[in-house]
Amino acid sequence: MTTMTDTFCDLSKGKCKPCEGGIPPLTVDEIAALMPKLAKDWQVVDGKLRRDFKFADHYITMTFVNAIAWVSHQQGHHPDLSVGWNTCRVEYITHAINGLSESDFICAAKIDALFDL
């Protein structure tokens, strides 16, 4: 069973851990326990943690995307992004385990904090 760390009291203060595989993905119950710690707009779709963001214009959208790139680089954990004129879809999955991990939730919380700035 995966052991969740104390970080989950405040996910946005956590640090992603590199994953090379060999650990199980989070269980349905673990995912359900973590979802309320994120903004309500996050969903699990096709095994990925997903949120759609909407902005006033393209410049603000791209500023947000660049901020995500900085956070991703700092954490060593990168989302899949789909970017439009005033939208950005963020999806997390830990590919090495073909499922969700603690790092996916930590990074999602960090993206929530960016959006709230």
Residue 46: inside a domain: yes
Residue 21: inside a domain: no
Q: Sort residue 10 into left (φ over 0), alpha (ψ -120 to 50) or beta.
A: beta
Predicted confidence at residue 57, as pLDDT, reads 97
Q: List the one residue out of 12, 27, 4 whose CA is nearest residue 109.
A: 12
Task: Kindly report the CATH number assigned to the domain that includes residue 87.
Answer: 3.30.1360.20
Residue 30: inside a domain: no
Predicted confidence at residue 39, as pLDDT, reads 93
Total domains, the chain: 1
Q: Hey, how many other C-beta atoms are within 10 angstroms of the C-beta on 17?
A: 15
Could you tell me the two tokens for 19? 């994953």
Q: Where are the alpha helices (DSSP H) in 5-101?
A: 28-34, 58-75
Q: Which helix (H) or strand (E) holds 49?
A: strand 48-54
75 has pLDDT over 70: yes
Predicted confidence at residue 23, as pLDDT, reads 86
Q: Which residues contact 62 (CB under 8 A, 6 or more apart)?
A: 83
The pTM assigned to this predicted structure is: 0.85
Range of the domain at 88: 41-117
- Ramachandran angles phi, psi of 46, nearest 5°: 55, 40
Average pLDDT over every residue of 61-87: 96
Provide the pLDDT confidence category of residue 109 given band limits of 50, 70 and 90.
very high
Provide the pLDDT confidence category of residue 8 given band limits of 50, 70 and 90.
very low
The DSSP symbol for 95 reads G
Residue 82: inside a domain: yes
Residue 48: inside a domain: yes
